[in-house]
Structure 1
Amino acid sequence: MMLPAAHINLDYAASTPLRAEALEAMRSYDASPIAGANPNSLHTLGREAARALEAARRSVASSLGCGVRPQEVIFTSGGTEANVLALFGIAEAVRAKDPARTRIVVSAIEHDSILDNIPALHAAGFAVDIVKPSARGVIEPETLNGLLDDHVALVSIMFANNETGALQPIEELARAAHTAGAYVHTDAIQGYLHAPLDVNALDVDALSLAGHKVGAPVSCGALYLRRGTPFAPRSRGGGQEAGRRPGTQDVRSVLALAAVASALAPGVEGEWLRLRTLSDALYARLLTSPRIHATLGSPVPAGRLGGIVSIYVDGFESEELILQLDQHGFCVSAGSACSSASAQASHVLTAMGLAGDAANGSLRISFDDRVDPEALDAFTKALLTIVEG
């Protein structure tokens, strides 16, 4: 179905359009002799496909920081699989080495791909503690410290929240966890290539990323696993990815991810600052209405992603606002697209202490460098018109 030309996508935090670099990488692959070749085959085309796969692995590794080894990158089908691999793979391997470490700590603002696995972790014999954020949506090191002891196997806290955009103090959180002897995973799916990120500076043992959040296909992601980090494969059936994630690799999508990583990584900091300037201006204009409030409080903190603006509107429900904005030609969301079918208020906003009415009236406006600033101006006028009647 063709959308009206006037519809403008401001829901980039859910998924992003394919970038030109990704499209070109896939076209080149499709036109090449290795198209469809299994990179695990011994023949010439298989070996060529394997070389292309390893070149892509080097590109993704480089985007994660200086000195990251290609062997520390595990390609996956997306961010959810990367999160699940980290959560169970590390925790079970740590417990196998030290049976006393049967606790896992996660934050209350994690994505569903973490939180929805808590019952399965319980069934596997792990106790799971949930650390709550501040009213500004940040996990404080002091709060995490109160939950740490020598029974914790793994701490998993996201790099940037996918609903509010709040950046977490991962370096400090990792320091606290490591002091207690625990390993650290961060879900960087929303923040990868959208904010400066270096796994060495963050001092994390594992990090998840997803292609579709940065303009690569939805079918690819990766898990960074620091060399020496205990890890138990979640499934078996082949020796791919050094035996850590069986299954024939999707070379086509991986090449697209690598092309995007190579194109965006050098300019991440500049784009982050530019998008934050745009979001600052959007916040300022929207907050001129007494009925519109920033979920992160006012003034809006600088420690956040530039392309996410998170607000709530007095007297409105999210669904009503989304449908009215859609009629005006703007596509936004209330929060995580993975929870869009739920009528419940955002678990992120309620964890931050927002009352039910406020959380039920939330909106997330998200974009990247490809969105025209004039579109943001037009969106602002439309929302203010709706809110002010």
Structure 2
Amino acid sequence: MDETALSHLYLDYAASAPLRSEALEAEADYDRSPFAGANPNSLHTLGRRAARALDGARRDITSALGGGFRPQDLAFTSGGTESNNLALHGMAEGARGRDRRRRRIVISAIEHDSEIDVAPSLRDEGFTVTLVRPGTDGRVSPDALDAVLADDVALVSIMSANNETGIVQPLAELAAASHEAGALMHTDAAQAFGKIPLALEDVDGVSLSAHKIGGPVGVGALVLRSRCPFRPREFGGGQEGGRRPGTQDVRGALAFAAVTRFCSDGLEARRLEVEGRAQALYDRLCAPKTGILPTTTAQLDEGRLPGIVSVMTRRLDSPTLVLRLDQAGFEVSAGSACSSASLDASHVLLAMGIPREAALGSLRISFDERVGTDELDRFAQELLRIVSSAR
């Protein structure tokens, strides 16, 4: 490994969290097992053993997910992006197939790019896409959603917690409003799963991603209730209940399940620990006269993910801040890693009503309990120095 990388402090967990030891151990156990490499769809002994292991992973993940979901509701995917794509297309087509009047899809203006960028293809398929905007606190209110709902809406999709600001959405109320209008409800829970308790009892579909909680990259899940209408977009083999065909990655699924079990155990204690470190970082960075402001006035204990600190400054633009911090040994991002090449302001912050010139200087610092207070203090000192020197 590059010695320079060893000296860097990685603070971009919301993009991809470092692999946890539980994932590595699960992968090693699989590699040593007799059924390593066996196709879980085969009828022979090793194939059946692989299938049982895969089913065990489904049980562990859906048990942690809660909301009344069952193991057979879970289809493994390649990650959150594929899960979101499958959900928007498959659930919307399923709803329209049941009721031809339902040709509109409602998503929030702060969704991940894997939903925002699906809009053109949905329009090509005859759907209208409506964006519902959040308030200045970053939350989509039930009233705002209700204002755009009607009997032509097939699907509503609003993320559980935002990947840039960490704002947690009022999911139960949003789902209730969606169902009152006769629409299906999907949520992208990639950032929230394994970090906070989720209220999913009234949600029809959920997207998950393993690498956001320390699992391997390339593994995710789409969880759909059995009653949820769904039209698949890929064919061949019939795996995952026909929702996502192709030979499954048993090794990745077992690693995903292992980190899920770890994150579920002691979730509340871990949440409070990380929340305390995040609040201390906010307090230091956003103290009077530092030139740094939070992107939202919502407090951590009012519904924010514990490990995302979202700030902004007018003194430097985001790419300059990221590169200067990188040179000093700190790895952060300006927002979603999937749009990191863009030089424009974050669509999330603009949707919240933040002026473009302020949003152009945003930073996202993200971590979990593996990053200590002393390390965050060192980072804060360096960021404050960089911003102060730009006066």
TM-score range, shorter chain: over 0.9
Asked if structure 1 preserves the Cα contact closer than 8 Å seen for 2:76 and 2:220, the reply is: yes
- Match of 1:106, SS state, is strand
Report what 2:318 is aligned to: 318
- Superposed, which structure 2 residues align to 1:328-343 within 5 Å? 328-343=328-343
Q: Which amino acid is 1:384 matched to?
A: L
Task: State whether structure 2 residue 384 is matched by structure 1 residue 384.
Answer: yes
Asked if structure 2 preserves the Cα contact closer than 8 Å seen for 1:237 and 1:246, the reply is: yes
- Match of 2:154, SS state, is strand
Report what 1:94 is aligned to: 95
Deviations 1:235-292 (A, max 9, x none): 1011101111100000000000001111111322222222111111110000115210
Alignment RMSD (CA, Å): 1.2
Report what 1:174 is aligned to: 175
Deviations 1:140-184 (A, max 9, x none): 111100000111000000000000000000110110010000000
- Superposed, which structure 2 residues align to 1:154-169 within 5 Å? 154-169=155-170
Asked if structure 1 preserves the Cα contact closer than 8 Å seen for 2:219 and 2:256, the reply is: yes
Report what 1:190 is aligned to: 191
Deviations 1:123-153 (A, max 9, x none): 0000110000111111011110000011100
TM-aligned CA deviation for residue 364 of structure 1: 0.3
TM-aligned CA deviation for residue 6 of structure 1: 2.0
- Superposed, which structure 2 residues align to 1:265-280 within 5 Å? 265-280=264-279
- Superposed, which structure 2 residues align to 1:197-216 within 5 Å? 197-200=198-201, 203-216=202-215
Report what 1:16 is aligned to: 17
Asked if structure 2 preserves the Cα contact closer than 8 Å seen for 1:187 and 1:207, the reply is: yes
Report what 1:28 is aligned to: 29
Asked if structure 1 preserves the Cα contact closer than 8 Å seen for 2:108 and 2:158, the reply is: yes
Report what 2:369 is aligned to: 369
Task: State whether structure 2 residue 57 is matched by structure 1 residue 56.
Answer: yes
326-335 or 191-200: bigger deviation: 191-200
- Match of 2:156, SS state, is strand
Q: Distance in 2 between matches of 1:66 and 1:164?
A: 25
- Match of 2:151, SS state, is coil
Q: Distance in 2 between matches of 1:46 and 1:246?
A: 17
Deviations 1:31-64 (A, max 9, x none): 1111110000111110110010001111011011
Asked if structure 1 preserves the Cα contact closer than 8 Å seen for 2:136 and 2:352, the reply is: yes
Question: Per the alignment, do residues 323 and 98 of structure 1 end up closer, same or farther by CA in structure 2, a change over 3 Å counting?
Answer: same
TM-score, normalised relative to structure 2: 0.97
Q: Which amino acid is 2:364 matched to?
A: R
- Superposed, which structure 2 residues align to 1:76-155 within 5 Å? 76-155=77-156
Report what 2:250 is aligned to: 251
Q: Distance in 2 between matches of 1:261 and 1:298?
A: 28
TM-score, normalised relative to structure 1: 0.97
Q: Distance in 1 between matches of 2:11 and 2:20?
A: 16
Q: Distance in 2 between matches of 1:370 and 1:137?
A: 27
- Match of 1:199, SS state, is coil
Q: Distance in 2 between matches of 1:229 and 1:257?
A: 24
Report what 2:2 is aligned to: 2
Q: Which amino acid is 1:166 matched to?
A: I
TM-aligned CA deviation for residue 299 of structure 1: 5.7
Asked if structure 2 preserves the Cα contact closer than 8 Å seen for 1:289 and 1:384, the reply is: no
Q: Which amino acid is 1:172 matched to?
A: E
Q: Which amino acid is 1:190 matched to?
A: Q
150-159 or 265-274: bigger deviation: 265-274
Q: Distance in 1 between matches of 2:168 and 2:295?
A: 14
Deviations 1:194-228 (A, max 9, x none): 1112422xx10001010000011111001110120
Asked if structure 2 preserves the Cα contact closer than 8 Å seen for 1:64 and 1:198, the reply is: no
Q: Distance in 1 between matches of 2:200 and 2:178?
A: 15
Q: Distance in 1 between matches of 2:316 and 2:214?
A: 32
Asked if structure 1 preserves the Cα contact closer than 8 Å seen for 2:19 and 2:215, the reply is: yes
Deviations 1:43-92 (A, max 9, x none): 11101100100011110110111643101111111111111111011100
Report what 1:306 is aligned to: 306
Deviations 1:329-360 (A, max 9, x none): 10000000000011111000011111111110
Task: State whether structure 2 residue 315 is matched by structure 1 residue 292.
Answer: no
Question: Per the alignment, do residues 56 and 231 of structure 1 end up closer, same or farther by CA in structure 2, a change over 3 Å counting?
Answer: same
Q: Distance in 1 between matches of 2:3 and 2:68?
A: 45
Q: Distance in 2 between matches of 1:3 and 1:142?
A: 53
Q: Distance in 2 between matches of 1:193 and 1:151?
A: 34
Q: Distance in 2 between matches of 1:59 and 1:249?
A: 17
Q: Distance in 2 between matches of 1:263 and 1:212?
A: 14
TM-aligned CA deviation for residue 323 of structure 1: 1.0
Corresponding pairs, count: 387
Q: Distance in 1 between matches of 2:46 and 2:71?
A: 22
Q: Distance in 1 between matches of 2:153 and 2:110?
A: 19
TM-aligned CA deviation for residue 3 of structure 1: 4.4
Question: Per the alignment, do residues 199 and 294 of structure 1 end up closer, same or farther by CA in structure 2, a change over 3 Å counting?
Answer: same
